[in-house]
Chain A
Amino acid sequence: MHAKRASTRVMAAGTAVKPMTAESAEEIAAREFVRVVESHRPQIFRFLLASTRDLDLAETLTQECFLKAHRNWGRFRGESSAMTWLMRIAINLQKDHWRNRRMQFWRHTRVNSVDLDEASEWLPSGERTAEQQMLARERVQQVWKAMQGLSERQRTVFLLRYVEDQELSEIASSTGLSEGTVKAHLSRALGKVRAELREKS
């Protein structure tokens, strides 16, 4: 399909260019895909890592996400951005994973999940003093704790907005929800984070 699209490319002046061979169209598609992987892989991985708090699982799901994307790359029409499309795949994979885990109740979930204290260690040093670093670490822990009380959708929406800086329309597109629903989930998630922070302070 992609090859077909490439082969009928027409110049602006209306002069048909020499039809591309299927091989060169495939090469172009492959190059485009490599570029997409290079530019979006860290972001997808970061989202999955924050979402699952499990290094191995995040890596596995990221690989699965790009494998799935590669298989369906020919069907990607560019109606949404590549990032939104990839994020949708990642969210669906994550959903499937937790659904399967719930079915396999004998398995211990979160086998490799990183401990909250350990996870909160990661902070950019910047120009902060040791005290500020400690306070920041505490705040991060509180947000993690609040996130544990969020539903899967609330957590996804929260991360997409406040970690990945996505706009509501992008989040709606990635999650398949309406903007109003996204806003409602986000509002509830913020409320819970705020409550956790107030409780501690």
Chain B
Amino acid sequence: MSWKKKTADETISSSPIDPGIDPEMGSEIDPVLAQALQDFRAHAHAWGEAVYSRPQAQVQAERSVWRPALAWALGCVLVAGGLSGAVYERHERAAMAARLALEAREVQQRQLAAQQRAADEDLLATVDSDISRDVPAAMEPLAQLMDEDAAQ
């Protein structure tokens, strides 16, 4: 037995609804609640019927418009994100490698310059010591000649 038969004969009727008793529950349903339940039932039936009887083509069209578009947009965003991430990563790695190579080259150049400087200094020291030891003796006759010229 339907509960609404006790509360009202017609769900979409505009006439006032008598309060009734839900026979299954055995409890009284006040007029406000009875009216609300009837309205809700009528609403659920009307909504269900309207949605159910929608042309299937319309449903398909509704679905086919935004869903593939959304899927494509998401796909594009993901692909673009992935690609740009990969490119950025690659660029970062290349930049880092270049920086490291430059630093390594600079260190090597500094080491070479230091070695060169050390070699030059060694050579100069050797030359200086050789000159200081050999030249004074070799220049002695010339110095004597210069002394004689000065005396005359």
Binding site for B on A (CB under 8 A): 41-42, 45-46, 49-50, 55-56, 58-59, 119-120, 122-129, 132, 136, 139-140, 142-144, 159, 161-163, 165, 167-168, 183, 186-187, 190, 193-194, 197-198, 201
B residues within 8 A CB of A139?
35-36, 39-40
Contact A167 B44, CB 8 Å, known A45-B52, A161-B3, A190-B33: no
A193 to B37: give the CA distance in the assembly, Å.
Answer: 9
CB distance from A147 to the nearest CB of B (A): 9
Q: Is the CB of A194 within 8 A of B48?
A: no
Q: How many A-B residue pairs have CB under 8 A?
A: 105
B residues within 8 A CB of A190?
25, 27, 29, 33
Q: Is the CB of B46 within 8 A of A142?
A: no
Q: Is the CB of A165 within 8 A of B2?
A: yes
A51 to B41: give the CA distance in the assembly, Å.
Answer: 13
CB distance from A184 to the nearest CB of B (A): 11
Contact A46 B14, CB 8 Å, known A140-B39, A167-B1: no
Contact A142 B44, CB 8 Å, known A162-B3, A165-B4, A186-B25: no
Q: Is the CB of A123 within 8 A of B37?
A: no
Q: Does B50 contact A (CB under 8 A)?
A: yes
Q: Is the CB of B14 within 8 A of A163?
A: no
Q: Helix, strand, loop or mixed for chain B's interface?
A: helix
A residues within 8 A CB of B33?
190, 193-194, 197
A187 to B33: give the CA distance in the assembly, Å.
Answer: 13
Option from B35, B36, B39, B63 in Cβ contact (under 8 Å) with A123: B39
Question: What are 6 of the A-B contact pairs (CB < 8 Å)?
Answer: A49-B51, A124-B11, A143-B40, A144-B40, A162-B40, A201-B32
Q: Is the CB of A168 within 8 A of B24?
A: yes
A residues within 8 A CB of B13?
126-127
Query: When each residue 1-31 of chain B gets 1 if its CB lies under 8 Å from chain A and 0 otherwise, what string results?
Result: 1111000000111100000000011010110
Q: Is the CB of A197 within 8 A of B36?
A: yes
Q: Is the CB of A124 within 8 A of B42?
A: yes
Q: Is the CB of B46 within 8 A of A140?
A: no
